[in-house]
Chains A and B, each alone.
Chain A
Amino acid sequence: MKYGVRARQFLAVVLVVTAVPAMAAWNNPYPAADTGKNILYSAFRERPKHLDPARAYSSNEYEFIAQIYEPPFQYHYLKRPYTLVPLTATAVPEPKFLDRQGKPLPRNAPASAIAYSVYEIRIRPGIRYQPHPAFAHDDKSEYRYHALTERDLAGRYTVADFPHTDTRELIAADYVYQIKRLAHPRLHSPVQSVMNDYIVGLRDYAKTLKQAHDKVAGGREEGVFLDLRNYPLAGAQEVDRYTYRVTIHGKYPQLLYWMAMPFFAPMPWEADRFFSQPGMAAKNLTLDWYPVGTGAYMLMENNPNRRMVLERNPNYHDERYPAEGEAGDVEKGLLRDAGEPLPFVDKVVFSLEKESIPYWAKFLQGYYDRSGVLAESFDQAIKFTGSGDTDVSDEMKEKGIRLLTSIAPSTYYMGFNMLDPVVGGYTERARKLRQAVSIAVDYEEQISIFRNGRGIPAQGILPPGIFGYEEGCAGVNPYIYDCVNGQLRRKPIEAARKLLAEAGYPNGVDEKSGKPLLLYFDTPAIGPEEKAQLDWTRKQFAKLNIQLVVRATDYNRFQEKMRKGDAQIFIWGWNADYPDPENFLFLLYGPNARVGHDGENTANYQNTEFDRLFERVKNMDNGPERLFLIRQAMAIARRDAPWLWGVHPKQFLLEHVWVANAKPHNMANNTLKYLRVDPALRAGQREAWNRPVAWPFVVVAVLLVGGVVPAFIAWRRREKKGATE
Chain B
Amino acid sequence: MIAYIIRRLLYAIPILIGVNLITFALFFFVNSPDDMARIHLGVKRVTPEAIAKWKADRGYDKPLVYNTDAPGLAKATDTIFYRHSLKLFVLDFGRSDEGRDIYYDITNRMWPSLAIALPTFLVGILVYVTFALLLAFFRGSYLDAGGVVVCVVLMSISTLFYVIGGQYLVSKLLHLVPISGYDDSGWLAFKFLTLPVAVGVVSAIGANTRLYRTFFLEEIGKDYVRTARAKGLSEARVLFRHVLQNAMIPILTGVVVVIPLLFIGSLIMESFFGIPGLGSYTIDAIHSQDFAIVRAMVFLGSVLYIVGLILTDLSYTLVDPRVRLE
Residues of A within 8 A of B (CB): 25-29, 31, 47, 49, 57-58, 157, 185-186, 188, 190-194, 281-284, 286, 288-289, 303, 305-306, 351-355, 357-358, 361-362, 365, 367, 554, 556, 559-560, 577, 598, 600, 690-694, 696, 707-708, 711, 714-715, 719
Contact = CB atoms under 8 A, between A and B. Distances in A.
B30 interface: yes
A708 B143 contact: yes
A242 to B, nearest CB: 31
B79 interface: no
A193 B45 contact: yes
A358 B180 contact: yes
Contact of A193 (B47, B137, B141, B185): B47
16 contacts: A29-B183, A157-B104, A190-B41, A284-B100, A284-B101, A288-B99, A352-B276, A353-B274, A357-B179, A365-B172, A365-B175, A554-B30, A560-B35, A577-B44, A600-B45, A719-B234
B30 to A, nearest CB: 7
Given A188-B41, A188-B57, A711-B138, 15 more contacts: A47-B284, A58-B42, A188-B54, A190-B50, A193-B49, A283-B101, A284-B101, A284-B105, A288-B99, A354-B280, A362-B178, A556-B30, A598-B48, A690-B175, A693-B173
B272 A358 contact: yes
A157 B109 CA distance: 14
Given A31-B188, A556-B32, A692-B175, A282 B272 contact: no
A352 B274 contact: yes
B93 to A, nearest CB: 12
Nearest to A221: B57
Interface size class of B (residues with CB under 8 A): 35 or more
B164 A711 contact: no
Contacts of B191: 26-27, 29
Contacts of B112: 306
Secondary structure of the B side of the interface? Answer: helix
A188 to B, nearest CB: 5
A58 B134 CA distance: 56
A184 to B, nearest CB: 11
Contacts of A49: 40, 98, 288
A205 to B, nearest CB: 15
A361 B167 contact: yes
Interface in B42-60: 42, 44-50, 53-54, 57
A361 B234 contact: no
A31 to B, nearest CB: 6
Contacts of B48: 598
A188 B53 contact: yes
Contacts of A286: 99
B81 interface: no
Contact of B235 (A192, A694, A719): A719
A354 B143 contact: no
Contacts of A367: 178
B42 A185 contact: no
A190 B45 contact: yes
Contacts of B134: 708
B171 interface: yes
B176 interface: yes
Contacts of B180: 29, 353, 355, 358, 362
B179 to A, nearest CB: 4
B260 interface: no
Contacts of A47: 284
B3 interface: no
A693 B276 contact: no
A560 B33 CA distance: 13
B31 interface: yes
Interface of B: 30-32, 35, 38, 40-42, 44-50, 53-54, 57, 98-101, 104-105, 109, 112, 134, 137-138, 141-143, 164, 167-168, 171-183, 185, 188, 191-192, 234-235, 271-274, 276, 280-281, 284, 288
B174 A29 contact: no
Contacts of A600: 44-45
Contacts of B276: 303, 305-306, 352
A306 B142 CA distance: 47
B30 A358 contact: no
Nearest to A186: B57
Contact of A559 (B38, B44, B138, B176): B38
In the complex, which of the residues B104, B172, B185 has the most CB atoms of chain A within 10 Å of its own CB atom?
B172
Contacts of B142: 711
A352 B270 CA distance: 12
Nearest to B146: A707
Contact of B175 (A27, A303, A711): A27
B181 A351 contact: yes
Nearest to B195: A27
B45 to A, nearest CB: 5
A354 B284 CA distance: 11
Contact of B50 (A188, A691, A693): A188
B138 A305 contact: no
Given A49-B98, A305-B281, A715-B137, A357 B176 contact: no
Contacts of B45: 57, 190-191, 193-194, 600
A57 B57 contact: no
A542 B26 CA distance: 39
A694 B176 contact: yes
A25 to B, nearest CB: 6
Contact of A190 (B42, B141, B167, B179): B42
Nearest to A21: B175
Looking at B104, B181, B280, the one whose CB has the most chain A CB atoms below 10 A away is B181
Contacts of B38: 559
Contacts of B171: 27, 358, 361
Contact of A357 (B35, B101, B167): B167
